[in-house]
Amino acid sequence: MENKVIVCRCEDVTLEDIHALIKQGYRTIDEIKRVSRAGMGPCQGRTCRMLIAQELAKAYGVSMEEVIMPTFRPTVKPVKLGIFVGGE
């Protein structure tokens, strides 16, 4: 047991990692994603996105409505490159 608090279980990002990034000045979910990969795994942030938003809201003293959401792009779930080969 390591007593870790997992925020992003796909990419194994902990609450401690998120707090350290916020301390360094990262302010948005997208910024945190780019440096930590939180939200880039199989579930594409469905589990961790709002948990990170909650931490950002707390740290910067803003409401949840004010936390900037990341950009949502196709594809909404990871797919194999092979599906494009014979596909449209």
Strands (E), the chain: 6-8, 13-14
- Should residue 6 be labelled a site residue for another protein when binding is judged by CB under 8 A? yes
Among 27, 28, 51, 59, binds another protein (CB under 8 A): 51
Number of residues that bind another protein (CB under 8 A): 32
Q: What is the CA radius of gyration of the chain?
A: 15
Minimum CB separation of residue 87 from another protein in Å reads 3
Token pair, residue 37, equals: 């990969």
Minimum CB separation of residue 82 from another protein in Å reads 7
- Should residue 23 be labelled a site residue for another protein when binding is judged by CB under 8 A? no
d(CA 30, CA 53): 10
d(CA 61, CA 56): 8
Applying CB under 8 A, the residues found at the interface with another protein are: 1-7, 9, 15, 44, 46-48, 50-51, 64-65, 69, 72-77, 79-80, 82-84, 86-88
